[in-house]
Amino acid sequence: MAKNQTPLRIIPLGGLDGIGKNMTVFEYGNDMVLVDAGLMFPDDEQPGIDLVLPDYTYVLENEEKLRGIIITHGHEDHTGALPYLLMDLTNRVPIYSSKLTLGFIEGKLAEHKLVSPRFKEVADGSHLTLGAFNIDFFSMTHSIPAALGVYMRTPAGSVMHTGDFKLDQTPIDGITPNYQAINKYAGMGIDLLMSDSTNATEPGFTPSEAAVGPQLRHIIKNAPGRVFVASFSSHIHRLQQVCDASVAVGRKVIVTGRSMVTNTKVARELGYLHIDSKDIIDAYDKVTFADDKTVVLCTGSQGEPLSALSRMANGAHKSLSITANDAVIISATPVPGNEKSVASIINALSKIGCAIYDKSNTLVHVSGHGSQEELKLMLAMAKPKNFMPIHGEAVHLRAHAKLARDMGMKNDNIFIADNGDTLILQDGKVGWGEPVDSGVVYVDGLAITDADPYVFRDRKKLASEGIVTCVVTVLRHRTKVGEIDIASRGVSFEITEEINAEAQAAVRSALEEQQKAGSPSVEQLRKGAREALSSFLWSTSRIRPMVIPIVMEV
Q: Which residues are catalytic?
A: 196, 369
- CA triple 181-185-186, angle to 5 deg: 115
Per-residue b or e along 144-166, where b marks 16 or more CB atoms closer than 10 Å to that residue's CB: bbbbbbbbbbbbbbbbbbbbbbb
What sign for the dihedral angle of Cα 312, 313, 315, 321?
A: positive
Neighbour count for residue 226 (Cβ, 10 Å):
25
Find residue 426's DSSP bridge partners.
Answer: 429
| Strands 423-426 and 8-14, sheet pairing | antiparallel
Neighbour count for residue 469 (Cβ, 10 Å):
16
What sign for the dihedral angle of Cα 261, 267, 270, 274?
A: negative
- Helical (H) or strand (E) element with 473: strand 467-474
Nearest to 180 by CA among 419, 381, 439: 381
Interaxial angle between packed helices 522-541 and 497-516, expressed in degrees from 0 to 180 and rounded to the nearest 10? 140
Angstrom distance (rounded) from CA 528 to CA 510: 6
- CA triple 302-111-448, angle to 5 deg: 75
Residue 370 near residue 165, CB atoms below 8 Å: yes
Sheet holding 147-154, edge to edge: 127-130, 133-140, 147-154, 157-161, 192-196, 386-390
Sequence-distant (≥ 6) Cβ neighbours of residue 464 within 8 angstroms = none
Counts of helices then strands in the chain (DSSP H, E): 15, 26
Nearest to 479 by CA among 436, 512, 501, 450: 512
Angstrom distance (rounded) from CA 460 to CA 465: 8
Residue 43 near residue 27, CB atoms below 8 Å: no
Q: 39 to each of 43, 372, 416, how far by Cα in Å?
A: 13, 26, 21
Give SS3 for 244.
helix
Angstrom distance (rounded) from CA 142 to CA 145: 7
Nearest to 401 by CA among 370, 376, 427, 381: 376
Sheet holding 423-426, edge to edge: 119-121, 95-97, 66-70, 31-35, 23-28, 8-14, 423-426, 429-432
Positions of E strands within 283-439: 294-298, 327-330, 355-357, 386-390, 423-426, 429-432
